[in-house]
Amino acid sequence: MVVGFFKSCSRTVSNALSSNIRVAARNVRELYLTALVLIVGYVALVVSGCSVTSWKSTLGRNHPLTGRIWDVSSARFIDRQSLVTRLARADFLLLGERHDNPDHHLLQAEVLRSLIALGRRPAVGFEMFGLDDASAIANHLAFAPNDAAGLGRAVNWNKRGWPDWAMYQPIAEVALEAKLRIVATNLPLATARKMSSDGLAALEPRVVGDLGLDRPPSESVFASIAADIRDSHCGYGSEESVKLMVGVQRARDAQMAQSLIAADDPDGAILVAGAGHVRNDYGIPVYLTAKAAGKQVISIAFLEVDNQKPEPDNYALPDPNGRLPFDFVWFTARVDDENPCEKFKSQFEHLKRRSDK
């Protein structure tokens, strides 16, 4: 079994360090030597590419996959250094998260920092910034180009139902410190809301054509997105509303792809978004590949480990190929064990009331 051969990096580090401490303390019994052994062990492990992550999330830290990076196409684990080397060539890099997991945002910031260290200067987009936020972002950065905290306030972030901006701020800090461009990418919220009731009629015909939404999805793509939406909303919402939400999901993905291309940055673009949006089978990569032929698109999903799932393939989402629909998966500790259907019950009731209208 794959997992039998690979222990999580964080466990490897702590096991190696504690065995080093034991050996040093028993044989030499001198504190300074213990410290030296610790430092050498640490440096050796970091140089060998092993990851050292101090997780904010408390659950699953000792899971065998936590901290490990799975390369989907070659079906093997890779270390951080190899990942960064692969990402350095991407024109478009999509970093898919669970929105309320702070570790996902810290790792996104770390990936961005590593690419900047290699000389990359991509534009940086966020799913949460709609096109109608572009002027607020530009105005804020014109007066306070390094103020990442104020960027959240400039777009009224904390009134929009997203997890606290403080979680995303480290990504913006890295971007602004390197003077990268921050771009708005998504459909305006009001447009998405209107699409939830009116479908494509909520968009101007020109926009429908530009986004390629005049061509309906294949039956299997429609079925996959609909299944994902039914599942994530715990079965709330009528079939008609699921159908409309499939349309919104596609429009958001198409718009985000188009915005990344329109950023027209010679060094490409990075996007921070929910993991569902970066799926290779029906998410943003589909639209990027269609419109930006020849450009390299890479998607990474940060996925929380599950005690019932010891192997990477156990995390394959409903997918006819049974494969994870990303290029890389970075497994992380998890925030909570709450049942999302209970946790978000009041929001789902709201969704139900809307779809019953």
Give the footprint of ligand HEM on this chain (CB under 6 A): 192-193, 196, 228-229, 232-233, 245, 248-249, 276, 340, 344, 347, 350-351, 354
Nearer to ligand HEM, 215 or 357 (CB): 357
Residue type (1 letter), 130: G
φ, ψ (nearest 5 deg) of residue 269: -150, 155
CB atoms inside a 10 Å sphere around CB 178 = 16
Q: Rounded to whole angstroms, what are the CA distances from 275 to 95, 97, 305, 357? A: 7, 5, 14, 30
The answer to whether the CB of 99 falls within 8 A of the CB of 274 is yes
Q: Rounded to whole angstroms, what are the CA distances from 210 to 34, 196, 200, 215? A: 64, 20, 13, 11
Residue 342, both tokens: 């209970």
φ, ψ (nearest 5 deg) of residue 258: -65, -40
145: Cβ–Cβ under 8 A, 6 or more apart, which residues? 176, 179
Residue 336 Cβ vs ligand HEM, minimum distance, rounded to whole Å: 12
Mutual angle of helices 165-177 and 102-117, in 10-degree steps: 0
The answer to whether the CB of 90 falls within 8 A of the CB of 298 is yes
DSSP 21: H
Nearer to ligand HEM, 97 or 228 (CB): 228
Nearer to ligand HEM, 181 or 250 (CB): 250
Complete DSSP assignment for 119-157: T---EEEEEEEEGGGHHHHHHHHHH-TT-HHHHHHHTTG
Residue 255 Cβ vs ligand HEM, minimum distance, rounded to whole Å: 11
Nearer to ligand HEM, 29 or 357 (CB): 357
Nearer to ligand HEM, 170 or 276 (CB): 276
* Residue among 141, 127, 19, 2 nearest 71 (CA): 2
Q: Rounded to whole angstroms, what are the CA distances from 126 to 30, 35, 184, 264, 339? A: 51, 42, 7, 16, 27
